C-alpha cells in the first residue's frame, strides 16, 4: 500500500483499529435502520399513496431507499436492539436521543418519511426526515408549512457523527458521480 500510495501521490492515514471497528458498527447500524425504514414504508399504504400523489415514482423510492419512521418513541430502538445493536451505538449514529434524566433513549425520527444519506461509496451514514402530515393535505401549501413549523420541524437531519460530516456530504452524489465523470461537469442547486 505504501509503495502504491507513493507512486500515485496518495497520503495514507493510519487509523486506530478500535476506531475503525466502531465506525464499521455505526455503518452497520445505519444500514439496518435504512432497511427497517424501507420495510416499514411498504407496510404503510397511506405514506406510499402520499408519495405517489407528490409525484415520487416507485423506482425513486427503491433507488433512494426511501422509508418511513412511525410515530413511536422507540420503534427503531426496539427493532435495532432485536438485531443486537446497543442503545449507545444507536445514539452514536444520531438515530436515538438519550432522555434528559439520562435513564432511557427515544427515537430521533418519528412520523417521518426517511431519506438515507449516503457517502460517496454508497454507505448509509445518516438520514433526513420529512414530517408526514396527511391530515394537512386539504390546506394550502403555505398553511401546511406554517402548521408544521408551529408544532414540529418540517425536516430534520442526523446530527454530526463519527461517520456523518454534514459539510463533507452531498446528497445523491453516490448515484450521480459516474455521470459527473462521464460528462465532466455538474450543476449543484439547493
Low-confidence spans in the chain with pLDDT less than 70? 15-19, 134-151
User: What is the Cα–Cα distance from 24 to 28, expressed in whole angstroms?
Assistant: 6
**Whole-number pLDDT of residue 6:** 82
**Whole-number pLDDT of residue 148:** 47
Residues 130-159 have pLDDT tens digits of: 999 865 444 445 554 444 445 689 999 999
Count of Cβ atoms closer than 10 Å to residue 36 Cβ: 22
**Whole-number pLDDT of residue 15:** 67
**Whole-number pLDDT of residue 105:** 95
Only one residue has cell 427493532, namely 79
Amino acid at each position: 500500500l505504501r509503495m502504491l500510495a507513493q507512486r500515485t501521490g496518495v497520503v495514507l492515514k493510519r487509523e486506530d483499529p478500535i476506531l475503525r471497528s466502531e465506525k464499521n458498527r455505526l455503518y452497520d447500524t445505519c444500514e439496518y435502520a435504512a432497511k427497517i425504514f424501507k420495510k416499514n414504508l411498504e407496510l404503510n399504504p397511506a405514506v406510499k399513496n402520499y408519495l405517489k400523489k407528490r409525484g415520487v415514482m416507485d423506482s425513486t423510492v427503491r433507488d433512494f431507499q426511501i422509508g418511513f419512521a412511525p410515530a413511536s418513541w422507540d420503534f427503531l430502538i426496539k427493532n435495532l436492539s432485536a438485531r443486537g445493536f446497543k442503545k449507545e451505538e444507536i445514539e452514536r449514529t444520531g438515530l436515538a436521543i438519550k432522555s434528559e434524566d439520562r435513564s432511557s433513549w427515544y427515537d430521533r425520527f418519528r412520523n417521518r418519511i426517511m431519506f438515507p444519506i449516503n457517502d460517496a461509496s454508497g454507505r448509509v451514514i445518516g438520514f433526513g426526515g420529512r414530517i408526514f402530515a396527511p391530515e394537512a393535505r386539504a390546506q394550502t401549501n403555505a398553511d401546511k408549512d406554517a402548521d408544521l413549523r408551529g408544532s414540529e420541524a418540517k425536516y430534520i437531519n442526523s446530527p454530526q457523527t463519527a461517520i456523518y460530516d454534514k459539510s463533507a456530504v452531498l446528497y445523491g452524489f453516490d448515484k450521480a458521480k459516474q455521470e459527473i465523470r462521464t460528462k465532466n461537469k455538474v450543476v449543484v442547486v439547493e
